[in-house]
Structure 1
Amino acid sequence: MTTTPETPAAPLVDLQRLFVAIRRRKRFWLATALLGLIVGAVLAVVLPAPPTAVAKVIVVHQDDSPTDSGTLMRTDVAVLQTTQIAAAALKKLGSTDSPDDFMKNYAGLGLTNNVLQITVKAKTNEDAVARAQALAETFIADHVKRSQAAAAAQSQAILDQRKNAQDELGKVEQQIVDEEGKGRQASQPTLESLYSRRAALTAQISDFTSRAQQAGIGSPQVAAGTQIVDAARVLPKAFLKTTATNAGIGFALGLALGLALVAIGAVSRDKPVLRREISAHLGASVIAQLPSKLRGPARLWRRSRAVSERRRVATTLVRLIKQDPRSVSLLELGAPKVAAALSLDIVAELATEGDASVVDDLPGEDVRKLVTETKSDVSVVGAVDPAAKPEERRVGVGTVSPGTAWTDLEHLGKETVLVVKAGHANTLWLHTVARQLADQEIPVLGIVLVDPDPRDKSDGTLWDGLHTALRGRGRKAAAPAPAEREDRMDELVARVAERVARTEAPTRRFSPVRPVLPPALTTPRPPASPLPPPGSVSVPDHLNAPTKKFAPVKPPKRPTPFKRDHGEPSHKGDLDADLEPEKSAEVS
């Protein structure tokens, strides 16, 4: 679509249209949210939560410190979710289930840095309690075993270092003995270094011994401190809480799904809702708007208001219809019932001044049904009934929905008013309607918008042409047909030519004016011959007379016919008076 500098390019996503579409489709996304709430509540009843058992274990870590941020507890939770722990617990229970399936039915949660909660689901309460107890005991045994293994490994490493130090100390002792056996030949600095080395090795061996004892003391504390502080027990079933939780989750999911579907539909389907969009696509102005058919309890207290608004619009349309003798039709697009009711109101007002009837050409014969329901006295005829009487006014009611016979619309009325429901048709179909009506030469007086958005503040009036709505209606009542206008112009030209020929004097011819020179500049002429030569023509005396000057002849004025209000010329007498030429000036 090409754009001009005066017309800005349309945005990729019009947020105003998106918000309006979501607000107009609130019944849909509220229905999906309610459906999600109901489904969640039903699932809580039909598929209740399986029996669940909980056990709490206090876990003592050998390297625990007050500054720990929960890393050790997260490690314990990860160790709990291993096939080794699951297989050991199943082996203790004597079950043949798969460890992978068992891991899906339990979970660990670190409540604090040293408290672990184990939750197990099973088919029965007894099975859930037994599995939670076995899982807690298996985890404690594995934790103590790993702690003892770590302490034993650390103690063994220290003992191995002490043995190496003892072996080295034995070698130093042997060197000292050898040096002392030499007597006076022994080197005093060598002995002093050996004595220093022996003292250092002795202190190192003593340190290794104390560290090995401390490493062995740490494991009993872990074994004694890690235990079950809350035995496995079945969690009570909170039916109301579970139902409310599931219903809330279903409501949120349904609401999100409904809003997403409405937003996607608003962008992909491209159905105009705003007044400015509908008027621009149809090429006509919105002259009135009506609410759609009321639903629910609102019909009880808002019925009179809707009827009064419809009658007010009908009064406005009746004024339009009375301005021109041509017939006017109502063509609906998505609002057949509103168009039927509006046509009955229009004909009811026209019937007060003469014969009037409705031509029902709707596919569902909504006008006849409405007349039967309301027991109205308005005359309703069909599209195939005989033509109307000369003094009878008929208002045709038809449709421009898909499947319309476009060539039959001109029989409903020479002009039309479109009754369009907002958000019913897409942009392509609105363009099709405007193009087909233009091809049939059916002017659109205006658009009656049905079910508009109450927060729509856009302007539905087109200001760039006289071919739309009320401002173009006065131009269509214009002047006579082109053939009649040409005939009158030819007649007028002939009359003007005849009057000019009658009043204009015949043209007189004069000899050319010769300039008179002073005597000093005159050239002497040769003496005139007494007799003219043979065959020559003599010049008359009146041609040699001095030239007389006359006043110029003024041309007659061009006739200027007066125009009436609709461009017609004035009466013949007025035209003759205006075409009287001025009298020519007398010759001086």
Structure 2
Amino acid sequence: MTTHTTSESSAAAPLLDLQALVVSVRRRRRFWCSLALLGLLVGVAVAVLMPPPPTAVTKVLVAHQEDQPNDPGTLIRTDVALLQTTRIADMALRSLESPEKPEDFMQDYGGIGLTNNLLQINVTGDSDAEAVARAEALADAFVSDHVRRIQQAANAEAKALLDQRDRIRDELAQVNKEIGEASPDSGPKAAANLESLFARRAELTSRISDFDQRAAEARIGTPQLIDGTQIVDAPRAVRHSLPRSAATNGAVGLVLGLALGLAVAAVRTVVADRPVLRRDIAANLGASVIAELPYRSAKLWQRRRIRAARERLTTSLARTVRGSAEPVSLLELGCARGTSALALDLAGALAAEGPVVVVDGLPGLRLAGRRSKPGDPTVVSGERAATLSPQERRLGVGSVAPGTAWTDLQYLGTRTVLVVRAGHGSTAWLHTVARQLADQRIPVIGVVLIDPDPRDRTDGTLWDGPHTALRGQNELPARQNGGGTSQAVQAVGEGPRRTERQPMWAARVPDSDQEAR
């Protein structure tokens, strides 16, 4: 039976509950909103305290001999890389008569290829005038270097063509010499040889003319490339707007901080595994959520609503305590202050029917050590609980937080109402609370959920059938004669027996442990 229930629970539980994740992240909105605000402030502070240095920009049109319509930008990227060389930096510094090292100057400028033939140069300086002068010197140095390389390439190509032409001319001179030495009366063989020499001379003459034409074309193409490489946008200072920079940096910081906050909140939610939905809390504790109470707020209209909800809760709990012949306790998890105030209100509501003593079992004697006011109920510490008179109605207040002395909870009350703050206890600890209360044979009347999510639409009732809810029904574990698993029997009054659904912690209890209890 236990193995079957466990397998069903494992199969039904999703690997990641998106609804619970969204609710948990939304409940941590103070955290990620704080990170977003911090990012906004950091971005604005960077814009104000670290303004960009004076910058000048210029654009250079670069003509390439190898330009192709389908060029993917390789040539302009080569120009950008050449701009970041010590040769061009040194040429610009010499024109500026600056003693700065080229390596240091290279850190103050950069190039961006806007198109295949348009290069943008950005230069920084100590002032706008210095930045403009640097940009002009750097653009002139780049254009001069590019023109020099074009001329060198053209001259090298022309020289190679002319050298080839000269070699062909030497060969032509040799052919002419052989033609001059040949005799026309030497016979048919000599005539054929002479004819081949004339054909060779015509071929060499044609090749010489071709090389002359190609060398001339190489020189003719160079001026077009030189004139095409020029500064098309004169160097000018870039104006920086402080409000615009602050707004841009603030927006970037806000987005980054918000993204980081949401990511951290989601990771912390998954790792912590703290249920916030009423259905999860009820399932892990094995008890229905019988009431909810919003958390305290500083807003006046919310204070009225919280006060009204607290009065309704006190009336409901007082009705439950009156109908019980056994002492009832309030056990808190994550809301000791609210539970203390709720216990005092409940004791005040019950005082009209007879004397009520509040037994303080909270850590640090939160109630017993406080200064009492006229009309407050009697509050005693947990050590004096055994000396109370049976005629006095006893209302215990304790805690089920880590470090609780579980065996002392029976002296606070044999029945209990759990007051749990949503998102405070982990799943494992809620299982522990349910197991320990079952071991102490303290039935849970119900769960009062503190600080619930206002958008939570899940059901916090444990159902025994399609029309019957276990809300407010009290159950007491009883051992069967002959062993076996323990069953829930009714301790007080009416109410159906739980037969179909067990709490999640019960599905994890081995049969041997249940038989031992």
Does the TM-score normalized on the shorter chain lie above 0.5? yes
2:455 aligned partner: 455
Contact 1:371 1:378 in 2 (8 A): no
Say if 2:436 is the partner of 1:436: yes
Offset of residue 87 of structure 1? 3.6
2:10 aligned partner: 8
Paired letter, 1:26: R
Whose radius of gyration is greater, 1 or 2?
1
Unaligned runs of 5+ in 2: 482-492, 495-517
Contact 1:37 1:248 in 2 (8 A): yes
Contact 1:272 1:425 in 2 (8 A): yes
1:558 aligned partner: none
Cα RMSD, aligned residues only:
3.1
- Measure, in 2, the Cα distance between the counterparts of 1:435 and 1:261: 32
1:309 aligned partner: 309
What per-residue deviation string (whole Å, max 9, x for no partner) do you get for residues 212-235 of structure 1? 011112222323332223332322
Say if 2:143 is the partner of 1:149: no
What per-residue deviation string (whole Å, max 9, x for no partner) do you get for residues 107-146 of structure 1? 1122333322110122333432232222112111110111
1:427 aligned partner: 427
1:471 aligned partner: 473
Aligned match of 1:138 in 129, 137, 141? Answer: 141
Unaligned runs of 5+ in 1: 483-564, 567-588
Aligned match of 2:243 in 240, 265, 268? Answer: 240
2:114 aligned partner: 111
Runs of 4+ in 1 over 6 A off after TM superposition: 368-372
Paired letter, 2:57: V
Aligned match of 1:255 in 251, 254, 258? Answer: 258
- Measure, in 1, the Cα distance between the counterparts of 2:8 and 2:229: 80
Offset of residue 360 of structure 1? 3.7
1:329 aligned partner: 329
Paired letter, 1:6: E
Going from structure 1 to structure 2, the CA distance change for 1:355 and 1:196 (only over 3 Å counts) comes to same
1:279 aligned partner: 282
Residue 4 of structure 1: SS of its match in structure 2?
helix
2:172 aligned partner: 169
- Measure, in 2, the Cα distance between the counterparts of 1:231 and 1:290: 71
Say if 2:163 is the partner of 1:160: yes
Moved more, 108-117 or 419-428: 108-117
Offset of residue 418 of structure 1? 0.5
2:505 aligned partner: none
Contact 1:290 1:450 in 2 (8 A): yes
Offset of residue 184 of structure 1? 4.6
- Measure, in 2, the Cα distance between the counterparts of 1:432 and 1:366: 24
- Measure, in 1, the Cα distance between the counterparts of 2:6 and 2:434: 21
Paired letter, 1:4: T
Going from structure 1 to structure 2, the CA distance change for 1:63 and 1:399 (only over 3 Å counts) comes to same
Paired letter, 2:330: L
Contact 2:108 2:124 in 1 (8 A): yes
Give the total of aligned pairs.
474
Contact 1:358 1:378 in 2 (8 A): no
- Measure, in 2, the Cα distance between the counterparts of 1:135 and 1:305: 72
Contact 1:180 1:186 in 2 (8 A): no
Contact 2:356 2:378 in 1 (8 A): no
2:362 aligned partner: 362
Paired letter, 2:92: A
Going from structure 1 to structure 2, the CA distance change for 1:176 and 1:87 (only over 3 Å counts) comes to same
Say if 2:292 is the partner of 1:294: no
What per-residue deviation string (whole Å, max 9, x for no partner) do you get for residues 338-396 of structure 1? 22332233233323333334334434666589997xx7834141225575444432322
Offset of residue 193 of structure 1? 3.0
Offset of residue 159 of structure 1? 0.9
- Residue identity (%): 53
Moved more, 87-96 or 200-209: 87-96
**Matched ranges for 1:563-578 at <5 A:** none
Moved more, 281-290 or 34-43: 281-290
Q: TM-score, normalised by structure 2?
A: 0.82
Residue 353 of structure 2: SS of its match in structure 1?
coil
Paired letter, 2:473: R
Residue 261 of structure 2: SS of its match in structure 1?
helix
Paired letter, 2:66: D
**Matched ranges for 1:397-416 at <5 A:** 397-416=397-416
**Matched ranges for 1:219-230 at <5 A:** 219-230=222-233
Paired letter, 1:213: A
- Measure, in 2, the Cα distance between the counterparts of 1:422 and 1:50: 52
Residue 352 of structure 1: SS of its match in structure 2?
helix
